[in-house]
């Protein structure tokens, strides 16, 4: 940007004041399962008075043994009625800045139940032989030209596999903003 005399004018990025916080949760590496499994969920609790905008999901996977060719992709679903699993503490959720308030968004891990709605992404499983395949990282953005995937109070997203293998190791993260 330049001023009327052609000199450069510095610009500084500032956070939109409508945003009350930005957060990320990174789930510790954990084993895959053979049966259907809900790995992690993000819920905007009923009555929160806030809106959650999902920034994206980050997936990495390694294998430690032969993986069955029938392992399904990790999918992200819109959901409601999420319960069970392990409710993570606010201290396990990273803040974009330490001065931001604790999030209203609730993270649950490992085996929560949910009423699943439409799926909004797929991430392929790593299939191969032990030590014969390279790990991968998949970034899934949640914003399109029409807007960002939004969770209103009472709504959730769930990261789930329909089938898998105990030799899979998943590393999952989800980032969001609240307003």
Residue 12: the pLDDT is 47
pTM (2 d.p.): 0.85
Q: What is the pLDDT of residues 15-69, one digit of tens each?
A: 566 678 999 999 988 778 888 889 999 999 999 999 999 999 998 887 788 777 7
Quick check: 107 and 93 in contact, CB under 8 A?
A: yes
Burial class (CB in 10 A: 0-12, 13-18, 19+), 24: middle
Tell me how crowded residue 170 is: count the other CB atoms within 10 A of its CB.
24
What distance in Å separates the CA atoms of residue 94 and residue 101, rounded to the nearest whole number?
11
Residue 38: the pLDDT is 94
β partners of residue 18: none
Q: What is the pLDDT of residues 121-178, one digit of tens each?
A: 888 777 776 665 666 677 787 877 788 999 999 999 999 988 777 778 888 999 999 9
Tell me how crowded residue 76 is: count the other CB atoms within 10 A of its CB.
24
Torsion sign (Cα): 83, 85, 89, 91: negative
């Amino acid at each position: 940007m330049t001023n009327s005399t052609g000199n450069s004018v510095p610009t500084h990025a500032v956070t939109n004041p409508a945003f009350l916080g930005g957060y990320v949760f990174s789930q510790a590496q954990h084993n895959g399962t053979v049966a259907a499994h809900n790995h992690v969920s993000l819920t905007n609790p009923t009555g929160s008075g806030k809106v959650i905008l999902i920034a994206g999901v980050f997936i990495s996977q390694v294998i430690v043994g032969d993986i069955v060719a029938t392992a399904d992709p990790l999918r992200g679903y819109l959901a409601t009625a999420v319960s069970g699993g392990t409710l993570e503490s606010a201290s396990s959720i990273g803040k974009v800045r330490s001065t931001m308030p604790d999030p209203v968004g609730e993270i649950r891990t490992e085996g929560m139940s949910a009423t699943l709605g439409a799926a909004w992404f797929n991430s392929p499983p790593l299939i191969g032989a032990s030590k014969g395949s390279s790990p991968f990282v998949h970034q899934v953005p949640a914003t399109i030209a029409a807007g960002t995937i939004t969770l209103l109070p009472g709504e959730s997203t769930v990261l789930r596999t329909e089938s898998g293998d105990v030799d899979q190791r998943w590393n999952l993260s989800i980032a969001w903003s609240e307003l």
